[in-house]
Structure 1
C-alpha cells in the first residue's frame, strides 16, 4: 500500500490541473482497492462554502459530476464533513442520514466509507469509497484513504487558490486575490512579481510567455543538440569502463532526445506561446506520467530517465543568468524558499518586497529583509509561485498578506499607506541621532546588529551607539575556505576602528542549525539541538584560537572590543571558552603584541542559561539575550517552520518570565544585560524590556529610530507597571493588545500597525 500511495501522490502532483488530479485519484483508488466506486466531493467553489459538490467519480453516473450538491449536514457525505472523521458503514441505506440522489445511480451500492480532506484545520471535501456488497471496509482500507486524503489536501488547496477547482473560471484574472502568510518584515510594497527558482529544477520553473517564439524554439533545439553531444561523449568515455549492454542506457537516452513526444511536444507548446523552460516542464510531466501509468516495472522506471533528460536540457536553457538591469524597477521577489543569495542577486535599488512559500518571520531571509527595510511575507503555503511572474503584486508585511492583481482602489489605499510610512521615517530621522533616554532619565544605548563590512557606514549614519552584535560567521559563509588569521584581523580591525570609541561586540563563530559552511558541512537529524555555536568551536580549538587571536590583534590601541560567546548551555562550556581566550592572549603577549583585556559576554539562548544567568554573569562582564533562539527553545517551535509559526511568539508568558529571571540574575551579579534578538526591534516588546531594566538593546538598522522613539516616550516606572500587568496575563494576544494600547496612548500609534508578530 505504501508503494501504491507514493505512486498516486506523484501522479497527482504531476497533473496539469485539479480536474485531472481528481480523475487520477478516483481512477487509481478504485483500481488499487478493487472497489466499485470512488468519488471526491469538494466545497462548492461558486456557492455556499458549507455545500459539497461532486467533483469526480469513477463508478457513479458521469453526468452527476459537477451537478450533485449536498448542503451542510445533508447525507452521509455531509455527516463525514460535519464530524471531520471517517464514517464506515456496512449498509449505507439503513443509516438515518442516507440520502438518495437519483442522478448518481448509487442505490445499488451498500458499503460506504467516507474520509474528510482537511488542510490546516479547514475542511476541503470528502473522499468516498463504495461497494455493491454489504461489508465494512477493513482497517487497511480506512488507513489508506485517510493517509491519501491527508497527502492530497495541500495539492487540492493549492489548486483551489489558482482557480482550478472549476475550469469555468481563472482566479488569478480576478482583482484583489488575497493570500495569507506570516508577517516577515514590516511595510508595504507595490511592484511586479519576479520568480526566484532553483536552476535545473523543472518543478520550480515559472509560467512565462515567450518574448519570441522563434528564439525560444531555437534555444530549445540547441539545448537538445548540446545534451545529445554530451551524452554521446559520456558513452564514448565509458567504453573502457562499462560493458556494452550497460552502455546501451546512453543510447536509449539519445533516442529519447530524438523522440517525437519529447522534442515535438515541447516545440508545439513553445509555438503555442510558452517560453522554452515551461514548455519543457509540461512535456516532461506528461511523458513521465505516461511511463508511470504502465504496468511493466522496467518501463515505469523509465520515468526517472525522462526527468533526468529534462533536467539536462533545462540546465542548457538556463545558461543565461538574469542581468541586474533585467529586474523591474519595483521587483517583488517571489519563490518557494527564497534564499539570501537570491535576495542579493536583485539590485537593492530595484528590490521592493519579498514573498516566500517557506520560512517564518524569524527566518534569516526575513531578518535580512528587515535589515534592508524591505517588506516581506513568509510561509505562504498555498503560493502559486509559477503563475506570479510579471504580475502586479502588493505585499503587506504588517498583516502577512499578498494581493494579486490589485484593483485601482486597493493600489491607491496602499500607496497612501506607503506615503504615511515615508512621513513617519522622515520624522524619525532626526530623532535617531539623539540618545535614547527614558522620560525618567535612564539612558538605554541602542546598538546595531551587523554581519557585513558594507553595513558599517549605514550603522554609523543611523545613529547607532555601537555594534551590539557582529555576526562573524558571515565572512566565513561567503568564502570557500576558513578565512585565515590575517584576513579576520583585517575585517575586525576595520569594524573596531570605524566605531571607536563606541563599543563593538564580536560574536564568535556561530554556525550549525540553519547556518552552514559549504566547506564544513554539518549534517544532522536535528541540527538545532545538535552540533552548533560554541560546541563546534570548543571541539575545534584550532579554528577557535585563530579567530580569538584575530579579534585580539584587531583591538591593539583600541578599547572598544567586546567578545560574545554563543550557545552557552553550561558553566563548563564557558570555562573552556575563557581558557582558550586567555591562551590566545598569552600567545600574543609572548609575541610582543600589546593587547588590552576585552570585555567578555555570554549569549543567553537556551533554557539552561536562563537558570544559570547569575552563575554565568559572575564570570563575565555582561549577558546578551538572543531572543530568536531562546523563544524557539522555550516553546519547542522551529522558527523556520511555517506550519508551527503561529506558536512562535515572543510575548508568550513563559518567555516573559524567563527574561525577567535572566535580567534579575544578571543584576544580582552586578552585571549589565542586553537583548540582541528580533524582540528588541518590536515596539511593544521594547516597553517590557524597559520594565525589566534591560540595560541596552541591539537591533537592525532599519528599526533603530523607532526603537529610540519608544524608549524616549516611556518612563521606566510606567514600563515596569505595564510589565507587572503582563506577567499576570495568560494569553499572548491579550499582552499584545495591552501594549499596543499603551503605544497609542503614548502617541506612538504609527508604530502599532508595524508591530507585526513578536
Structure 2
C-alpha cells in the first residue's frame, strides 16, 4: 500500500500541469483500488460550485461541463461534512443527484473523501462500483491517505496556473492571492527577483533560450568537467576500495555518455529549453523511475542519479553565473531568505521580501522590520520558482502576496504606500520629544541593534538607549571566532556611538536558528538544545574573552550593561556571575579602570518565569525576550509557518507570565524591560506600560509609532485596557478588543495586523 501511494504521488509531482496531474490521479487510484470509476471534482470558490475535472470510468465528455453547487448532490455533501461518505447504494441517499451526461446511474456503491489543504476544502475524490457493497476500512483509509497526500500537489499545480494568469478552468485570472504570515508591516509593489538555492535541481525553473548552440556547449562543458571529477575520484580511491565498489564510478561515467542521460538532455535543449531546465527534467524522470522500482538495489540507484544531476548542475550554474541586475523596485523572493541575500541588494532598490519558509518571528523577519522593508513569511503554497520578473504586491501587514494585479488593486496599494510614507514623515517630528503619557508617566524607549548600520537609524528615531545589542552578529560574519581585540573594537564602536546612553550587550546567543559556520551545532531539536548561556558556560574560554572585550571597550564611557540569554536556573546565573567577576578582576589587574557594569538576565523560558523572584535578587535587572518566551510557553516553533497562527504574544498565558515577572521586579525594586518584538507593537506596548514595565526596547522602525501612541494615552486608561485584556481567554479577541478600544480613542493610525 505504501509503495503504491508513493508511486502515485511521485508521478503526480512531475506532471506538467493540473489537468495532467488529475488524469494521473484518477487512472492510478482506479487501478490501485480495482474500482470501475474514479473521479475528481474541484471546488471553484468564485462560483461556489464543484466541477468534474477528471474521470476514469464516467463519460469523459462531461469533464468541465458537469458541476454542482456547494450544497448539492453527494459531492456537496462530502465537502460540507469534511469527512468520507461511504454508501452501499448511492441512488438511495436523499442527497443523490443524477447527471445523464456522466452515465453514473449504472454505479451503485460510492466512496467520496474531501481533498483538504490548510483547512480549505479543495475538492472531492470519488470511487464508484456497479456492485452494491460498502467499501471496507482498508479501502477507505487508502483513499483518505491518498487525498491528504494529493492536496498539497493539487494546491501547488493550481497556484502555478494562477500566477501564469490562468485558472484551472482556463479562464483569465487577476489578483491571485497567496496567504502567508505577516513578517514586517507595510506595502510594496515591485518586480520579483527569485534567488534559487545553489545546485538544487528541484528549484530550477523552466526558461526558453534563443541561442541553443551556446546552451549545448555549456552542457557539454559541464559533462566534461564532471567526467574528469569522476575519473580523479576513482583513481584517488583505487587503493582504498574493492573493485566492485570502484565499479560505481564506471556506472556514473556510463550515465554521462551521449547514449544515456546526456542524449536526453541534449534533445530537450534542442527544443529551446535552457540546459539547467533540461537537466532537471531528465534527472527527475530517471529518479522517479528508479524510486518506483520494487527491487531495493535499483531503488537505491535513484540517489546516484540525483548526485550526478547535482554535480552537473553545479558546473552549469558556475559557468552560467552573471552579475545579477536588480530592478529599481525589487521584491526579493526565495525559499528561505538569508541575511546575506539582503546584503546583496542595493538598499535603495529593495522594496519587499517574500520567503516561502520562516515565520513572522524568525530572525530575517526581525531584520526586515528593523530595515523597514515590508515582508511576508511562510508563503508555503507560492510556486516561487516560476515568479522571476513578475509584478508582485506584498502586503506585510496582512501577510498576503498578489500576482497579476489588476489596475484597481495596484491603485489601491499605491494609495496605501503613499499613506504610509506620509505617516512616517509625520512621526519623524517626535524625535526630540520624550515619551510621556498625557497624565505625565515617563516611558523610556530603547532600541534593539546588531549591525553598526543600525546606529544612525536608531539615533534618528530618538532612541534613549540600547535594550539589546545582539553580539552574535559580528560572530556570524566571520569565518572564525573574533579575537578579544577585534571584539573590543566592535563593542567600542557601539558604546561610543550611543554614549552617554546605556547599551545592553547580550552575551553570545548561538544555537536554535542562529548558526556559526565555523562552530556547527547539529541537533534534532535545536530550540530545546544547546543554545545561549548553555554554550558559553560549556565554553568559558569563549565567554571570558567576550566579557573581557566588553569591559575593556567600556573604559571611560561607563554605559555598558551585560545581559545573559536563555537562563533556566539559578546556578547558571551564579556560574555566569562568577566568570564575569573573574574577567573584571583580570582586566583591572591589566590596568583598566572600569567599574563593574549592571548585569541582567533575559527571561525567555517558562522556568525563568517561575524563578523570577529568585533571579531578580541576584542581578540588577530583568529583560523579557517575548519572542522565545511566547514560543516556549505555547510550544510553537516560531519559524514554522504551519503553526504560525498559534504563535501570539497576546495569548493569555503570555500576559499572565509577564504580570508575574513585573510583580517580582516591582517587589524587589529592580527594573524590568521588554526587548522582544512585542515591545515594538504599539498596541501591545500600551499593555506592557500598564503592567509596570520600566523600559521598552524595539527595532528602530517601530519606535516613532510606539512613541506617538503612548504620548496620546493616559496611564490610567492603559491600566483599564490591561484589566479588560486579562479577563479575555482568546488571544485574537484580546488583540481585536485592544485595537477597537484604541481606534475608538482616535489612536488607530499606527496600528497594524502584525503580531
* TM-score for both structures, normalised by structure 2: 0.93
Is 2:25 the partner of 1:28? no
Deviations 1:589-631 (A, max 9, x none): 3344323111011111122322322322122111111111111
Per mean C-alpha deviation after superposition, the further-off stretch among 78-87 and 634-643 is 78-87
1:5 is aligned to: 5
CA deviation vs aligned residue, 1:84-118 (integer Å, no higher than 9, x gap): 11233445455454455455454554543322211
With over 3 angstroms needed to count, the CA separation of the structure-2 counterparts of 1:656 and 1:300, relative to structure 1, is closer
What displacement does 1:169 show? Answer: 5.9
**Range with greater deviation from structure 2 (714-723 or 62-71):** 62-71
Choose the corresponding residue for 2:753, options 748, 753, 756: 756
2:701 paired with 1:702: yes
Alignment match, 1:15: 15
- SS of the residue 2:357 aligns to: coil
Instruction: Please say which of residues 620-629 and 91-100 is displaced more in the overlay.
Output: 91-100
SS in 2 for 1:751: coil
Q: Residue by residue, what CA displacement relative to the aligned partner does 1:68-98 show, whole Å, maximum 9, x if unpaired?
A: 4344354443432232112334454554544
- Alignment match, 1:142: 140
Question: 1:18-417 maps to which residues of 2 (within 5 A)?
Answer: 18-44=18-44, 48-49=47-48, 51-93=49-91, 95-107=93-105, 109-163=107-161, 174-210=173-209, 212-259=211-258, 262-292=261-291, 299-319=298-318, 326-417=325-416
Secondary structure of residue in 2 paired with 1:318:
helix
Provide the secondary structure at the position in 1 that maps to 2:307.
helix
Provide the rounded CA distance (Å) in 2 between the counterparts of 1:26 and 1:150. Answer: 15
Q: Output the CA distance in 2 between the equivalents of 1:247 and 1:109.
A: 58
Residues 574, 440 of structure 1: alpha-carbon distance in 2 compared, 3 angstrom cutoff: same
Bigger mean CA deviation after superposition, 574-583 or 184-193:
574-583
Q: Within 1, Cα distance between the matches of 2:246 and 2:633?
A: 56
Displacement of 1:675 in angstroms is 0.9
Aligned equivalents of 1:130 and 1:170: distance in 2?
25
Pair 1:512 & 2:516 matched: no
Task: Please give the alpha-carbon distance, in whole angstroms, between the structure 1 residues aligned to 2:280 and 2:390.
Answer: 21
Separation in 2 of the partners of 1:334 and 1:347? 15
Change beyond 3 A, Cα 1:694–1:296? closer
Q: Judge which range, 109-118 or 639-648, deviates more.
A: 109-118
Decide whether aligned partners of structure 1 residues 544 and 304 sit closer, same or farther in structure 2, where only a CA change above 3 A counts.
same
SS in 2 for 1:701: coil
Q: Secondary structure at the match of 2:550?
A: helix
What does 1:580-659 correspond to in 2, within 5 Å?
A: 580-659=579-658
CA pair 107-718 structure 1, distance change in 2 beyond 3 A: closer
Distance 1:293 1:600 in 2: 60
Structure-1 separation of matches of 2:433 and 2:296: 73
Partner of 2:661: 662
Aligned-residue offset at 1:259: 3.8
The change in CA–CA distance for 1:462 and 1:78 in structure 2 (over 3 A counts) is closer
State the partner residue of 1:731: 730
Instruction: Report the Cα distance in structure 2 between the residues aligned to 1:23 and 1:118, rounded to whole angstroms.
Output: 19
Count of aligned residue pairs for this structure pair? 754
Cα distance, 1:615–1:303 mapped onto 2, change above 3 Å: closer
Q: 1:119-172: CA deviations, max 9, x gaps?
A: 111111222334454544333332222222112211111222222799886989
CA contact (8 A) 1:172 1:405 kept: no
CA distance in structure 1 between the partners assigned to 2:287 and 2:82 by the alignment: 35
Q: How much has 1:300 moved relative to structure 2?
A: 4.8
Summarize the Cα distance change of 1:170–1:482 in structure 2 as closer, same or farther, 3 Å threshold.
farther
The residue aligned with 2:564 is 565
Is residue 354–residue 374 contact of structure 1 (8 Å, CA) maintained in 2? yes
Deviations 1:424-450 (A, max 9, x none): 222222312322222222322211111
Greater Cα offset, 215-224 or 579-588: 215-224
TM-superposed deviation, 1:492 = 1.5
What CA distance in whole angstroms lies between the structure 1 residues aligned with 2:634 and 2:82? 29
Q: Is the 8 A contact 1:26 1:57 kept in 2?
A: yes
Match of 1:457 in 2: 456
Structure 1 residue 354, shift from structure 2 partner: 0.4
CA deviation after TM superposition for structure 1 residue 296, in Å: 5.8
User: Would you say the 8 A contact 2:448–2:697 is kept in 1?
Assistant: yes
Secondary structure in 1 matching 2:645:
helix
Measured against aligned partners, the alpha-carbon deviations of 1:179-228 in whole angstroms (never above 9, x if no partner) come to: 22111101111111011211111111234443754443432332233223
Counterpart contact for 2:183–2:399, Cα < 8 Å: yes
- Greater mean alpha carbon deviation, residues 16-25 or residues 197-206: 16-25
TM-score by length of 1: 0.93
Structure 2 vs 1, CA of residues 130 and 247 (structure 1 numbering), >3 Å: closer, same or farther? farther
Tell me, yes or no, if the aligned pair for 2:265 and 2:279 is still in contact at 8 Å.
Answer: yes
**Residues 504/322 of structure 1: CA separation in 2 closer, same or farther (3 Å cut):** farther
Structure 2 runs not aligned, ≥5 long: none
Secondary structure of the residue aligned to 2:650 is coil
| Structure 1 pair 745–555 and aligned structure 2 pair: CA distance change class (3 A) | same
Q: How does 1:676-715 map to 2 (within 5 A)?
A: 676-715=675-714
What's the secondary structure of 2:702's corresponding residue?
Answer: helix
Check whether the contact 1:649–1:757 (CA below 8 A) recurs between aligned residues. no
CA contact (8 A) 2:18 2:168 kept: no
Which structure 2 residues correspond to residues 436-455 of structure 1 after superposition, within 5 A? 436-455=435-454
| Change in 2 beyond 3 A, CA 1:369/1:208 | farther
- Contact 1:395–1:402 (CA<8 Å) still a contact in 2? yes
Greater shift after overlay, 462-471 or 126-135? 126-135
- Distance in structure 2 (CA, Å) of the matches to 1:645 and 1:513: 17
- Whether the aligned pair in 1 keeps the contact of 2:254 and 2:260 (CA below 8 Å) is no
SS of match in other structure, 2:749? helix
Deviation at 1:265, TM superposition (A): 4.3
Note closer, same or farther for the CA distance 1:144–1:37 as it changes in structure 2 (3 Å cut): same
Q: How far off its partner does 1:343 sit?
A: 2.2
Structure 1 Cα separation of the partners of residues 233 and 342 of structure 2: 36
Residues 3, 748 of structure 1: alpha-carbon distance in 2 compared, 3 angstrom cutoff: same
- The CA distance in 1 between the partners of 2:103 and 2:247, in whole Å, is 53
Q: Alpha-carbon deviation of 1:61?
A: 4.1
* 8 Å CA contact 2:158, 2:167 repeated in 1: no
Residues 536/294 of structure 1: CA separation in 2 closer, same or farther (3 Å cut):
closer
Once the two structures are overlaid, the 10-residue window that deviates more, 259-268 or 521-530, is 259-268
Q: Following the alignment from structure 1 to structure 2, what is the Cα–Cα distance between the partners of residues 88 and 688?
A: 52
- Whether the aligned pair in 1 keeps the contact of 2:190 and 2:331 (CA below 8 Å) is yes
8 Å Cα contact 1:693-1:716 kept in structure 2: no
Matches of 2:450 and 2:171, distance apart in 1: 39
- SS of the residue corresponding to residue 588 of structure 2 reads helix
Q: Distance in 1 between matches of 2:402 and 2:167?
A: 22
Question: How large is the RMSD of aligned CA atoms in angstroms?
Answer: 2.8
The reply on whether 1:717 has 2:716 as its aligned counterpart is yes
User: How far apart are the structure 2 equivalents of 1:423 and 1:168?
Assistant: 38
Go from structure 1 to structure 2 and tell me whether the alpha carbon gap of 1:542 and 1:286 turns closer, same or farther (over 3 Å shift): same
